[in-house]
Amino acid sequence: MQTTLDDVQTLESRHVLQTYRRQPITFVRGKGVRLYDAQGVEYLDLLSGIGVAALGHANPGLAEAIADQARTLLHTSNLFYHPLQGQLAERLANLSGLPRAFFCNSGTEAVEACLKFARRYWYSRGEPRGEIVALDQSFHGRTIGSLSVTSDEHYRVPFAPLLTGVRFVPPNDRAALTAAVSPNTAAVIVEPIQGEGGVRPLTAAFASAVNEACEKSGALLIADEVQSGLGRTGYPFYFAALGLKPHLVSIGKALGAGVPVGAALISEEVASKIAFGDHGSTYGGNLLACRAALHFLNELVGGGLIAHVGRVGRHFEQRLRAVAAKHSIVKEVRGCGLMWGLELERDAAPVVPAALERRVVVNRTAETVVRLLPPLVLTEAEADEALSRLDGALGTL
Ligand code: PLP
């Protein structure tokens, strides 16, 4: 029997904690960049589950890898070795230049691990440091540590008191950053491109001021690449494109291409100060997560996906700028690769249902920004079709 949207909504309203304001659609299946609702209506997906489904939906190779792993062995815990965790850590080391990985299950856990490792580093050196410098408009996740370095009061206030000693400075304000970082700073944390904050890339000049402030004070640098990392911008990591020199990098989202997995990538200097038992996770880096992530990295590097994002990203940008130029409510177009934001002169919320009516999935963030994070496998023809639908949606405002 077909379950209607009404049935789903009624059941959820009774039993699911009401923390999400969902769009009134039930997606039941996908294929590539296409999603299908319960009635079989087809949508083009320019969001990929907030930057997760990097290989598109129902990717046959990924499905086979997951199924094969499920038939073999899914989970044994971190009390034992398995063959895949080291392989995945090595691949990530080659991609990032950071030689060690700690595996967890989400973006916020990856940030949490970076914050803990920064504290542990200073504790091991016998000079504990309690301060963190973060950026305005940052988003690092919802657990207490990550929330403490997330700037938006709306997320923070109901959960006070948060970690003390966090100072926020405006992104791309070199003077403010330099003034805030001191010999008491344990770490500076930045998103190389702020995602939830409205798709705002840091400038290379600001990145060099961050490097300088960290070098001078000894503060560790954490680059949060949960949204911008792993090919999304056409680079393996956007920190490298900016010239940032992080000691710790948080990743998540696309890493498992839909299977929940995150990681903290760690310099040898920091890793040398971490001891057995300092941190852990029951699920972190289990066989299923590692198998999915290895498959994704094979596609990203060996399969040429990063180069594809570079090419399609340039085409996407051109088309997006042409669409934006037709609508006077669009103030700015920001982004890189396949990570884009359209800053509107007004609240962007009505764009989402207008786009859904035209069968294209987009997202609004930071009140006034339409955010686009399509699957990395998007083709130029799919980009053209999806952006012409978005054009129609913007025309209704
Ligand atoms: N860090 C950044 C930059 C993010 O964009 C997000 C999520 O949007 C997170 C951390 C938190 O990730 P998760 O929702 O997987 O906990």
pLDDT reading at 275 higher than 60: yes
pLDDT reading at 2 higher than 90: no
* Mutation test residue for ligand 1: of 111, 151, 193, 226, the one with most atoms within 8 Å of CB: 226
- Please tell me the distance between residue 39's alpha carbon and the centre of ligand 1 in angstroms: 31
**Residue 64, domain member (yes or no):** no
- Domain co-membership, 325 together with 379: yes
- Mean pLDDT, residues 29-40 taken together: 97
- Domain co-membership, 209 together with 241: yes
- Please tell me the distance between residue 142's alpha carbon and the centre of ligand 1 in angstroms: 8
Write the DSSP string, 38-99: TT--EEEESSHHHHT-TT-BT-HHHHHHHHHHHHH-----TTS--SHHHHHHHHHHHHHS--
| Boundary of a domain, candidates 241, 268, 302 | 302
Task: Give tens-digit pLDDT for 9-32.
Answer: 999 999 999 999 999 999 999 999
- Domain co-membership, 255 together with 273: yes
- Bridge-based pairing of strands 27-31 and 262-266 is unpaired
Between helix 287-297 and helix 60-72 the angle, nearest 10°, is 150
CA distance linking residue 66 with residue 89, whole number of Å: 19
Q: What percent of the chain has pLDDT over 70?
A: 99
- Domain co-membership, 267 together with 330: no
Is there a contact between 147 and 134 (Cβ–Cβ < 8 Å)? no
Is there a contact between 376 and 54 (Cβ–Cβ < 8 Å)? yes
CA distance linking residue 239 with residue 97, whole number of Å: 11
Give the pLDDT score at 274: 97
**Residue 67, domain member (yes or no):** no
225 lines ligand 1 (CB under 6 A): no
Closest residue to atom 5 of ligand 1, CA basis: 227
**Residue 22, domain member (yes or no):** yes
**Residue 355, domain member (yes or no):** yes
3-state helix, strand, coil split of the chain in percent (to 5) is: 40, 20, 40
- Domain co-membership, 87 together with 145: yes
Is there a contact between 335 and 369 (Cβ–Cβ < 8 Å)? no
* Mutation test residue for ligand 1: of 144, 199, 227, the one with most atoms within 8 Å of CB: 227
CA angle 283, 21, 23 (to 5 degrees): 100
- Domain co-membership, 131 together with 182: yes
pTM score: 0.98
Write the DSSP string, 98-111: --EEEEESSHHHHH
- Domain co-membership, 318 together with 297: no
In this structure, what CATH number is given to the domain that contains residue 96?
3.40.640.10
- Domain co-membership, 85 together with 54: no
Task: Give tens-digit pLDDT for 187-236.
Answer: 999 999 999 999 999 999 999 999 999 999 999 999 999 999 999 999 99
- Domain co-membership, 273 together with 314: no
**Residue 66, domain member (yes or no):** no
**Residue 252, domain member (yes or no):** yes
Give the pLDDT score at 1: 57
233 lines ligand 1 (CB under 6 A): no
- Mean pLDDT, residues 77-102 taken together: 98
- Please tell me the distance between residue 251's alpha carbon and the centre of ligand 1 in angstroms: 9
- Domain co-membership, 243 together with 348: no
Averaged confidence pLDDT in the chain? 98
Furthest CA-CA distance within the chain: 66
| Boundary of a domain, candidates 285, 302, 319 | 302
- Mean pLDDT, residues 155-178 taken together: 98
185 lines ligand 1 (CB under 6 A): no
- Domain co-membership, 45 together with 79: no
The domain of 345 spans: 5-59+304-394
**Domains in the chain: how many in total?**
2
Closest ligand 1 atom number to CA of residue 108: 16
- Domain co-membership, 367 together with 386: yes
pLDDT reading at 129 higher than 80: yes
108 lines ligand 1 (CB under 6 A): yes
In this structure, what CATH number is given to the domain that contains residue 332?
3.90.1150.10
- Mean pLDDT, residues 65-89 taken together: 98
112 lines ligand 1 (CB under 6 A): no
**Residue 68, domain member (yes or no):** no
**Residue 65, domain member (yes or no):** no
- Mean pLDDT, residues 360-380 taken together: 98
| Boundary of a domain, candidates 252, 273, 302 | 302
